[in-house]
Structures are given as C-alpha cells and as structure tokens.
Amino acid sequence: MTAEAPRARKVYVEAFGCQMNVLDGELALSRLASKGWERTEDAEAAELILFNTCSVRDQSEHRVWSRLGALRERKRTDPSLLIGVMGCMAQREAESILRRMPHVDIVCGTRRFPVMDALVERARAEGQVLAVETDGYVDVRRDVRIRPQRHRAFVSVMRGCDHKCSYCIVPRTRGPQIDRSLEDVAEEVRRLADDGVREVTLLGQNINTYGRTLDAGPDGRRPTLATLIRAVDRVPGIERIRFLTSNPMDLREDLLEAMGELPRACGYLHFPAQSGSDAVLRRMRRGYTRDRYLELCARARELCPGIELATDLIVGFPGETEEEYLATRTLVEQVGFKQIYVFKYSPRPGTAASDLADDVPEAEKKRRNNDLLDLQDEIALRRNSAFAGRRIEVLVDGPSEKDASRLAGLEDGHRTVIFEGPAELSGRFVQVDVERATAPALYGRLVAGSER
C-alpha cells in the first residue's frame, strides 16, 4: 500500500473592517505558519477558513453572518474543514455565533488570537472552541517574515480604548487600553527593517494616549506617542513612519512638534472629527468642540507645513437636525481634508447612543452621506490638481489594481500615485513628475533612474 501524501495545511484569512483587523489576521497567521500552515487566497482550497470580523456597524456584522451561512453546506460535505471567527464580532456575539452557526469550530475574541495555533488543535481534538477572555496582556510578538507586503508593515502598539464615545462599540469589543512597551515596539520595528521594511504604520485604536498604561522610564517619564515615534525614527532602514488613529481629545502638541521635526514622520494625520456640530459632539461624548478641532488643525499645519489631514464623519447620529448636519458640511469646507471617510450612523447594542431614538430616516442619512462625498470630491480634485507640475517621491507598491500595466504607490501625504514603469520597482522609492490629478489619485511620469 502506498502512503498518501500528507494534505497541505492551507489557511484562508479574510479581514473585515479596520487596519487593526488586517494586522491581527496577519499575527494569527504568523502563529499558524510556525506550525506548518500555509496561506492561500483560495477559500475553496483551504482546510481552515478564518474570518476576522468587525462590529463597528451593523452592516459589517451582516456580511459575516451571510458568509458564515454560505459555508454550512460545504462543512456538511467536508467535515474536516475548520471554520474560525475572530475579531470584534466574535467577541461580541460569541455564544450566539456557536448557536446560530453550529458548523463554526472556533470563536476567538480580540485578545486570544495570538494562541490561534493552540485553538485550532483544540478544535480538532475536542470540537467547538470558545476563547473570548479579555483579561491579560496580548502577546503580539510575531514572525516578522510573515506579512503581505515586503516594504510596508503595520505594527500594533496598543490594544483597546478607555473612552466611552456614545456610538462606539470598540471599548466593549476590544476592552480597556493596554500599551506595548516602547522597547518591544522598537525591537519589532528593527526586525522588520532588517527584513526589508521601509515604511511602518503604528496602530492603536486611540493612539494619542499611547503610554498611559506604561511605567515611567529611567528618566522618570512615561513614554508618549511622540517619544515612540522618535524611537522608531532612530531605527536604521525605516524611512517613513505613519500612525493611526488620532483622537482630537488626546492630541498633544509634543506629537505635532515631533512630526514637524522628523523628516521620516509622514505629513499625514488621520484625525476623526465625527461631526462639526457642538451639540452632536456633546451627544457623542467626544470631549472637544468644533472650535477646538479647528484650532488643532491650524496648529498641525503651523508645526508641520504641508501636512495632510483626513477625517472620519458620522451622519444621521440620533437627533441630527439639518442645521447640525450643515455644521459638519461647513467643517469639511473649512478644513480642506485630503480625504474623508463618511459613515451612516448605525446603533450598536449596549452603547449609550443606542438608548436614543435612531430617528434620522435611512434615506436622509444616505443623502447626507452622498452630499458630503460629492463635496469632498470637489475639494480633493482641487487639492490634488495643485500637485500638477511637481516632482514627488513615491514608495512603489506594485502594479495598479485597476490597470496592471501601470504602477501604484503612495506619496508622503498618503495620496495614491499612478505611473508607467517596470514591476521590479515594487518596494523602491522613485521620483515621479505629476502631470494630472483626479479626486482619488495623482498621475505622472517616472523620473528615469531615480529609484533608490
């Protein structure tokens, strides 16, 4: 009898929602890879399917419910298939996922994914596994070689959030803030740089409060995001530093000073305003006013000339009147963002705002949503057009998704730049002469021989 070749252990990972989820999926994968699992982009070929889920809006959860439902039949015909759900929805809906979707094998919350390999073994041996404890430190150390892009990487610097913005489910799904030590983060960045990474994005749900849960260092001071960025800036090989997401409530001047001073800190700030109306900001419990937000934008531009600002906005928050909505609209006009991300309010069970009537009709939410996007299109086109005729530096990602005969990359302010060039330039810095602009991108010509 000939022995059958062992079946390759293939895992399919799909992330929904924010960058933090994308990274957590990679971290779980890194753990699985150390036990011989291999990533596949083809769910049909996978022995393990992992969905890394988001709870921020109802719609994000709906999508996962229907994807899970669609796997029921496959699991019936192939009982060796393992199905895992991780992330915010797994944390929030834990038991109900196992009840409504009995073909799911693993439900892993937001703080247990670093032991995904052990959970998979347990599921194989014992059947359904539920791992949603939120206590304790999340060990996010990883095999830095496992990442989707060679030249760019995300690094988690903190977990959770201690705020209670009234619409937000995150403090419930991701738990209280826990920071990773500055030395740990710097060490991971060093290992990434040694493996070819040139741009890092530091990730935290409320990254401006980084350090709050750490002990003071030898100088008697607690690390802050500014000191962290300064430490990352000293890592040889790293040429660009970004970070997400900045809460206006906690933005400190020392951060803007560091960004202004350090050429490697990108001139880009993702800075969610959520609303331009003081009354709505109060109901959201955001802890700042419109004027304070505008003041911070002005200060950022003063200390970091050329900085690009991007923001998140929620439309149709409970009780949002036309006048309150228009205050958001004028904020968008006044600031001149590089980009805005607009969300229609979605009540999340257990949040303070879910006690308020969700009284802005869906059609009206949609109208406000589209109105803001149309306005921003004009603003982005105007701002991008100012780049025509300029020479800019681009970190090349690779062939453009829309047109594989061209290359796409990002400039310092997080704009997409598209131009013709050979695929071998992926991962290199090049100079591009900008010729024209659209609202979402800049188009230009590669400067021959400029790669480094």
Using the minimum distance from each CB to ligand 5AD, give the nearer residue, 187 or 359: 359
Give the Cα separation of 321 and 346 in Å (integer). 17
Using the minimum distance from each CB to ligand 5AD, give the nearer residue, 18 or 185: 18
Cα 386 to chain center, whole Å?
28
Q: Are 395 and 152 in contact (CB under 8 A)?
A: yes
Give me the least distance between CB of 84 and ligand 5AD, in Å please: 24
Q: Mutual orientation of helices 225-233 and 253-261 as an angle, nearest 10°? A: 20
Q: Are 174 and 159 in contact (CB under 8 A)?
A: yes
Phi first, then psi, for residue 292 (nearest 5°) are -60, -40
Give me the least distance between CB of 343 and ligand 5AD, in Å please: 3
Residue 92 binds ligand 5AD, judged by CB under 6 A: no
Give me the least distance between CB of 354 and ligand SF4, in Å please: 14
Contacting ligand 5AD (CB under 6 A), which of 32, 56, 64, 327?
A: 56
Using the minimum distance from each CB to ligand 5AD, give the nearer residue, 209 or 346: 346
345 binds, among ligand 5AD, ligand SF4, none (CB under 5 to 8 A by kind): ligand 5AD
Give the Cα separation of 80 and 75 in Å (integer). 8
Residue 346 binds ligand 5AD, judged by CB under 6 A: yes
Of 437, 439, 428, the C-alpha closest to 447 is 428
Region of 37-45, 134-142, 283-291, 339-347 interacting with ligand 5AD (CB under 6 A):
339-347
Using the minimum distance from each CB to ligand 5AD, give the nearer residue, 309 or 407: 309
| Interacting residue ranges for ligand SF4, rule: CB under 6 A | 161, 163, 165, 168, 170-171, 205-206, 247
Residue 153 binds ligand 5AD, judged by CB under 6 A: no
b/e string for 26-37 if b means 16 or more Cβ within 10 A?
bbbbbbbbeeeb
Region of 20-28, 94-102, 224-232, 342-350 interacting with ligand 5AD (CB under 6 A):
342-350
Give the Cα separation of 452 and 441 in Å (integer). 23
Give me the least distance between CB of 339 and ligand SF4, in Å please: 18
Using the minimum distance from each CB to ligand SF4, give the nearer residue, 48 or 161: 161
Phi first, then psi, for residue 202 (nearest 5°) are -80, 135
Q: Are 104 and 128 in contact (CB under 8 A)?
A: yes
**158-217: contacts with ligand 5AD (CB under 6 A):** 167-168
